[in-house]
Chains A and B, each alone.
Chain A
Amino acid sequence: MSFVEYGDTIKDGDTAIVFLGHESMFPVKVQHGTVTQTKYGVIRHSTDLIGKKYGSKVTCSKGGWVFILHPTPELWTMNLPHRTQILYSTDISIITMMLELKPGSIVCESGTGSGSLSHALIRTVAPTGHLYTVEFHQQRAEKAREEFREHGVEHLVTVTNQDVCKSGFGVSNIADAVFLDIPSPWEAIGHAKSALKAEGGRICSFSPCIEQVQRTCLALEEYGFTEINTLEILLRVYNVRTISLQIPDLGKAAEDISSTGFDSSSPSHQGSPCANLQQGTVQFKSGVPLREVVGHTGYLTFATKS
């Protein structure tokens, strides 16, 4: 396995995802002789994992079971050890599309942070593209290098430990796209411009506060970027539930209600398999929004160098 190439069977040294249930999973480094504890009991790597197919059900020592999943940047994002605040897949997907990334693209990124976006970028530009990522925090830079090695993608990425606002990306006239997730992106716009290819490219900056966006947009204009566009993307997740609502008693007999075709006359219930009328209730399937959702991650500002 690697994060840029699917494999069928679990091998020694792989990073696999142990899936215990809804939103409950964690990554594990597969190693001969190692055991992993879960709430369903122990997983023995040599016998339970190595040589098995990805996607298999693995029975743990207490009789419970888990699924072992092939790693992807999206699963990694949901499970990686946080060293910083990270970008999630919803923002990552619009960043990837709006930066026009594809196999062969050269991308510059700063900061590397916990490597959530980095893994997604590497996946998209492989096998012929490259990611130049800059992180001013020395331990974080080193940790990122280590992870890229473990995940079999080190040939696709260069991690540089320096301050992007002072020293830039360490490359010039080479990038198709630049991504900035730093506190003062306006100080890095000039470096971004020189990192981009002479014939042009795309840039994106992520900032939580509108004041940061203001200054970034001014800097982008100053450096001659065009198509400056700021947007925000929000994810809405729905739980699929069967809901039953009681029918109010207005003094009518129960059979009266059913003979009027209460649920079939309402268009929203037509053809719905679960709209069967029970005694005094109507059941239906609904997509119920979560009680609390992420209302803001950051503003994404895109622009073109041409």
Chain B
Amino acid sequence: AMEGGPSARIREGDCAVLKRDEVFKAVSVLRRRKIIFEKQWFYLDNAIGHIYGTTFEVTSGGNLQPKQEVEETTTETKEAGTDNRNIVDDGKSQKLTHDDIKALKDKGIKGQEIVQQLIENSTTFRDKTEFAQDKYIKKKKKKYEAVITIVKPSTRILSTMYYAREPGKINHLRYDTLAQMLTLGNIHAGNKMIVMETCAGLVLGAVMERMGGYGSIIQMYPGGGPVRAATSCFGFPKPFFDNLHEFPLSKVQSLLSGTFTTETLPADPEDNALVEEESNGLSEEKQTSPQETEEEPTTEAAMEINTTEEQDTMDINAEDVEFKDKKENKENVREKQMKQWERRRKLIEAAALLREKNADGLIVASKFHPTPLLLSLLEFVAPSRPFVVYCQYKEPLLECYTKLRERGGVVNLKLSETWLRNYQVLPDRSHPKLTMSGGGGYLLSGITVVLDKSKSDSSNSEAQKMEEPSSKRCKLQDLPC
């Protein structure tokens, strides 16, 4: 079956995700490779052959051992207080010292036993309420019990992981927003999709998962080549990549105007970047630095800019060296030529797919201003197909909405955002979680229709009337806000 994917068992070479509580990390399963995760180090060797979803304990020497289900032993003397009127924070309730605890750990004593000892040596534990005891145990378990779960990668897990660990790399696209995109875009097997993203390949991976290897995807990319770091974490089977095409954004205009050729295209993504750097280095640099317009850019954003620029220069230097070596090495030249042919062939293929102008949808989630992307890329989409644009900020989408209205050829335009609230559900202790995410971005979605170019002016005003009743407009303008 095309949708196959990884088997239920952990195999060498798999892409897997480590999980501890709510924290995730994507790794490749390799033998004798040290992994550091949540302040623990270990090897994955022993995990191979176990079923995904298995929870392991980290033993001394960094070995993994499937965790045995243990009966809670703390129930024997179930004693608890009713309130905290007599509990005083004197800092002396724990009889074990820091050194004692460290000694226990050094002896290689299991986390579970350390937690038991902490409870026994806490003078206030018995006086705490049942709920407070529960909370105390949970906190200590989290700190001392070295357990990890190995799970299969999925959009659910990887989008949660990226949003928590590296939101800057995915333009703060929250996972519920990504979920909306996949649904609003009617992503399913058999589609011919156009995807333009600068979210490390996460959005591409999500689309690939939903298409299950059926249909085709044309990824539009800025700069020298598509970024697919997150895509590779999904561990898709090889056939999924057979119908994955890529096309450089910088060639879109020439493709639309009919002047597109592959003559000027070099073989390698890296070479491509190099050429662009030589020909119009300035504009390239402008494109790669995020247009942060806040008055005081956050340190995070500043860091992003730095690393992007650093990487760019490093790439170029490395390329320069390789360039010289290449001249001396004929084998390399032939290899490069082969690669170039292959790349050109794929490019011609992608261009042909786009020229048909019959794509089943368009997904945009990038750091760029969405308006020019939409106005150009919608040309490649068939009528009566959905499109979805993500933007971290609302304002560019307001403009995009207005421009799309002027252009026509779209209906059912909707600007939206989702809010996500997580809950703690426990007997007598249910409430919304203390923190919720402040922002997960905005979406502009709609459906294409046949663009009536002859009388676009009149139809526009009609469309305006249809979708935005003038009476309503007046009312809102009158509102003092």
Binding site for B on A (CB under 8 A): 4-6, 8, 19-22, 53-57, 67-70, 72-74, 89-90, 92-94, 96-98, 100, 102-104, 120, 123-124, 126-128, 199-200, 210, 213-214, 217-218, 228-245, 267, 270, 272-274, 285-288, 299, 301, 304, 306
Contacts and interface: CB of A to CB of B under 8 A. Distances in A.
Interface in B153-172: 154-156, 159
A300 to B, nearest CB: 10
Interface stretch (B28-36, B344-352, B382-390): B382-390
A90 B384 contact: no
B69 to A, nearest CB: 9
10 contacts: A22-B468, A97-B175, A199-B51, A228-B425, A236-B419, A238-B415, A238-B417, A242-B477, A243-B481, A287-B398
Contacts of B376: none
B401 A94 contact: no
Given A69-B447, A103-B214, A104-B3, A231 B422 contact: yes
Contacts of A239: 415, 468, 476
A236 B477 contact: no
A235 B422 contact: no
A56 B477 contact: no
B283 interface: no
A238 B3 CA distance: 38
Contacts of A128: 1-3, 212
A301 B293 CA distance: 39
A231 B22 CA distance: 14
A103 B189 contact: yes
A123 B185 CA distance: 12
Contact of A89 (B1, B183, B188): B183
A233 B481 contact: no
Contacts of A55: 382-385, 447-450
B176 interface: yes
B467 A213 contact: no
Given A6-B385, A97-B175, A272-B395, A230 B422 contact: yes
Nearest to A10: B384
Given A72-B186, A241-B477, 9 more contacts: A57-B452, A67-B411, A74-B184, A96-B179, A123-B188, A200-B8, A233-B419, A239-B476, A285-B398
B477 A93 contact: no
B182 A96 contact: yes
Nearest to B384: A55
Interface of B: 1-3, 8, 51-54, 154-156, 159, 175-176, 178-180, 182-184, 186, 188-191, 209-214, 293, 295, 358, 360, 382-386, 394-395, 397-399, 401-402, 411-412, 414-423, 425-427, 430, 442, 447-450, 452, 459, 466-468, 473, 476-477, 479-481
Nearest to B421: A232
Nearest to A202: B156
A241 B180 contact: no
Contacts of A287: 394, 397-398, 415, 442
Contacts of A238: 394, 415-417
A245 B467 CA distance: 23
Nearest to B190: A5
Contact of B402 (A123, A240, A288): A240
Contact of B430 (A19, A22, A214, A234): A214
B297 to A, nearest CB: 13
Contact of B467 (A21, A243, A267): A21
Contacts of A267: 293, 295
A217 B425 contact: yes
A286 B399 CA distance: 10
B466 A22 contact: yes
A304 to B, nearest CB: 7
**A-B pairs with the 6 shortest C-beta distances?**
A55-B383, A103-B212, A55-B384, A306-B53, A104-B3, A93-B183
A199 B422 contact: no
A93 B182 contact: yes
Given A6-B385, A217-B425, A301-B425, A235 B418 contact: yes
A280 B210 CA distance: 53
Contact of A243 (B156, B178, B414, B476): B476
A242 B473 CA distance: 8
A286 B186 CA distance: 28
A89 B176 CA distance: 12
A93 B154 CA distance: 15
Contacts of A232: 420-421, 423
Contact of B178 (A19, A92, A97, A213): A97
Contacts of B426: 217
A89 B423 contact: no
Contacts of B468: 22, 239
Nearest to B152: A100
A273 B396 CA distance: 11
Given A100-B154, A240-B415, A127 B430 contact: no
Nearest to A93: B183
Given A96-B182, A97-B156, A97-B178, A236 B417 contact: yes
Given A72-B386, A102-B3, A214 B427 contact: yes
Contacts of A218: 427
A90 B175 CA distance: 13
Given A4-B188, A19-B412, A97-B156, A229 B422 contact: yes
A126 B188 contact: yes
B180 A90 contact: yes
